[in-house]
Chain A
Amino acid sequence: MSIHAHRRTLELLDGEYASIHHGRSHDFDDLREYQPGDDVKDIDWKATARSHVPLIKRYIASRQHTLLLVVDAGRNMAAVSESGERKAELAILVAGVLGYLASRHGDRVALLAGDEERVLAVQEGGSEAHLERMLRQIDEAVSLDGPRSDLERVLALAVRRMRRRALVVVIADDVAYTHDLDVHLGRLQARHEVLWVSIGDADLMARGRDRRELVGVDSGQGLPAFLRRDRRLRRAFDEAAAERRARLEEGLRSLGIAAARVSDERGAIAALFRLLERHRRARR
C-alpha cells in the first residue's frame, strides 16, 4: 500500500524500493516502457535502441517523495467529532496512518500545521521517530484555548513554502467551500498532488442522549439542547449540512483532489484506503 504518485517518472512501487535496499543492479528493473505523458528527456535511448520499445530511465533521487501533512491546528480541531471523539485524535490518526505509509515506503514526511496565529512547520524526515514527534506536536498544539482555526491561511502558507513537488495531504474538517479555499487549493494542486481528509464535525442536531448544551469553539455561542428538538430546524440543518458537504466534495472534485471524510476511529482506516484508491485511479 502506498500513496500513489501520478507522475510517471516518479512512479513508486513497493518492489522498487525493495530492489534498492537489496542493492540489485539497475539495468533492467529501472527501465520501464515509455507511456504517453512521460518526459521525453527521460528516455534511455541506448536501452531503447536495444529493445523494440522506447524505455525510460528512472532516477533514484527522484523516487523519494515528500509527503506534506497540512493540518489545521486551531481550536476547531479540539472540538468534538461526529462520533464524539476529539477531532484532533482523528486528525492525528489520519496523519499517522498516512505518514507511516509514506515513511515505510521510503518517502519523507513534513508537517505544516497552523491556525490564525501560529505556524508549526516541521522539516521533512524519513524516520518513524520523526513522524511520532510531529504527531505529538500536533497534539500539543491543538487545544480549546488555542487560537481559532484558519485553514485558508495555512494553505496559503503551504503554497508559499512548499516549492518542491510533493504529495500534500490536507487534514481539515467540514469547512465551507469558499472562494479563498478554492484559490489556495487550486494553486496547491497545480504544483503538488493534493489529497483531502475531512474530519467529520459533530452533528449539531445529534439525536443522542447527551442533553448538554453545545458550545461553538470559535464564538463561544451556546446552542441549547432545546434547539435539537425543533423538527423544522433539524430538517433545515440536515439539508444545509448535506449541501455544505456536497459543495465541498464538488469543489474538490472539480480541482481533481481526492477526498475522504473520516467521522470515527473505526472507519478511519477503511476511509483512508478508499481515499488512496480513489487517488490512484484519478485522472490527471
Chain B
Amino acid sequence: MLLWPWVLPVLAVVAVALVVVGLLLPRRRRDRGVAVAHVDRMTALGAFRGALVRYRLLVGGALALALGGALVAGVLASRPAGVHASQQDDYKRDIVLCLDVSGSMVDVDADILAVYQDIARELDGERIGMRIFDASSVMAFPLTSDYDYIAAQLGRYERALTGQLSPEEQFNYLAGTANGLGASLVGDGLASCVLDFADLEASERPRSIILATDNIVNGQQIFSLPQAGQLAIEHDVRVYAINPFDFGADQAANELRETVEGTGGAYFPLDFAQTVPGIVDRVNAIEAGYIETPPLVQVVDRPGILPLVVLLLVGGVCIAVWRARL
C-alpha cells in the first residue's frame, strides 16, 4: 500500500529529466577538455581497451545503481504503509474472587480456586485478587499480576478448604472472618470486594467479581445485597454469582440473581447441568465481550529495509563515481 502513489510518476519524470540533462551536458563539455594530439599513442595500446572497459563498467554500474537507488527512493517517497492494529493493555481486566467461606460453600470455593489456578497459569496482564468473607471479610491477597504468587495462594486456600494442608503450611483460613454479628454477610462481603479494586477512579480496566455464595444471610449487615450491587454498578464492576444452592424460585436466589444481573454480570446456579469450570468459561466468554474493544487501527509507514537499501545504493554510487573519477 502506497500512501502517496503520485510521487512515483513525479519522481520518474524528474529522473528522466536528470538523465537527459546528464547525457546532454558532457556533449557541451567536450569542448572544454584538454586538447591533446596523437591520442593514438594511448588508444592503440592493448591495456587501453581493458581500462576503457573497466571505466565503462564503472560508469554503467554507477548509472544502474543510481537508477536503482532512485527507484527505491521513489517507492520510499511514496510512503509504503501498512495497517497496524493495537490492543491496548488498559483493557486487560481485573478479577476479584469473592468467596463466601461459610461451611456450606467450602466445596464450591475449592472448585472455583482449582479452576482459577489453571486459568492463572495462562493469564497475561490480567490481575487477580481474592477476598473471603463470612461474618466479616478478609483479603486473602490483593489484586496482582504475579501469577506464581496467585497460583500459590489459590493452591494454599484450596488445600485449606479441602483439608489437605501439609503439616508445615497449616493455617486457619477462617481467621478474621467471624468478627461480625452473624454469618454469611453477603452484602458486606460484596461491598468490600468492590472496594478491593485499586484506583477505582483512575483505572479503566474492566472489573469483574466472581461471587460464590448461597445468599443465605444470617445476621445484621451494613450493606444489604442490593446496596452492595448498587456500589458495584457505581464502580463499573460486573458481578458473576455462583450459587450452589439454587432451589428454584426461593427469595435469596432471586435477590442474588437480580442484583448481579443489575450490575451487568450473570447468575449461575450450580446444578447438574453446570460445573464450576463450565461456569468460569462462560464468565470469561461474557467478559471477553467487554474487553474486546475495537482494536486501534492505525495506518503506519512501513519503510521496512528500503531506507537501508537506498543508503547502500547511494554508497555504491559514491564509490563507483569516486573510482571512476567522474
Band of interface residues on A: 35 or more
B38's nearest neighbour on chain A, judged by CB, is A201
Given A221-B43, A222-B30, CB of A227 within 8 Å of CB of B48:
yes
Check: A175 CB closer than 8 A to any chain B CB.
yes
> CA A227 – CA B39 in complex, angstroms?
13
CB distance B55 to A217 under 8 Å? no
What is the number of contacts between chain A and chain B, taking CB atoms within 8 Å?
119
Interface residues of B in 237-272 (CB under 8 A from A): none
Closest Cβ of chain A to B102, distance in Å, is 96
Given contacts A226-B58, A227-B55, contact A175 B43 (CB under 8 A): no
Chain A residues near B42 (CB-CB < 8 A)? 204-205, 223, 227, 233, 237
B41 in contact with A214 (CB, 8 Å): no
The reply to whether B47 and A215 contact each other, CB–CB distance below 8 Å, is: no
Q: Do A173 and B38 touch (CB < 8 A)?
A: yes
Q: Which residue of A205, A212, A218, A221 is within 8 Å of B34 (Cβ)?
A: A212
Interface check B305, CB cutoff 8 A: no
Q: Restricting to B42-95, which residues have a CB under 8 Å from any CB of A?
A: 42-48, 50-52, 54-55, 58
Contact A236 B35 (CB under 8 A): no
Instruction: Pick out which of these stretches binds chain B: A73-81, A131-139, A182-190, A265-273.
Output: A73-81
Give A235 to B39 CA distance when docked, in angstroms.
16
Q: Measured between alpha carbons, how far is A149 from B323 in the docked complex, in Å?
A: 35
Least CB distance from A243 to B in Å reads 10
Residues of A within 8 A of B54 (CB): 230
Residues of B within 8 Å of A241, CB to CB, are 41
Shortest CB–CB separation between residue A261 and chain B, in angstroms? 14
In contact, A227 and B51 (Cβ under 8 angstroms): yes
Contacting pair B36 A204 (CB below 8 A): yes
Q: CB within 8 A of A215: which of B30, B38, B45?
A: B30
B37 at the interface (CB under 8 A from A): yes
Give the docked Cα–Cα distance between A219 and B32 (Å). Answer: 15
A225 lies within 8 A of chain B by Cβ:
yes
Q: Is A211 an interface residue (CB 8 A)?
A: yes
By a beta-carbon cutoff of 8 Å, the part of chain B in contact with chain A is 29-30, 32-48, 50-52, 54-55, 58, 323-326
8 closest A-B pairs (Cβ-Cβ)?
A: A216-B39, A76-B37, A215-B33, A79-B37, A236-B47, A213-B33, A230-B51, A233-B47
Given A175-B38, A176-B38, A233-B50, 5 more contacts at CB 8 Å? A174-B38, A223-B39, A232-B47, A232-B50, A237-B48
Can you list 22 A-B pairs, Cβ within 8 angstroms, ordered by A?
A: A75-B37, A76-B37, A77-B37, A78-B35, A202-B37, A211-B325, A213-B30, A214-B33, A215-B30, A215-B35, A216-B36, A222-B30, A223-B42, A224-B55, A226-B326, A227-B42, A229-B325, A232-B51, A236-B46, A236-B47, A237-B45, A240-B41
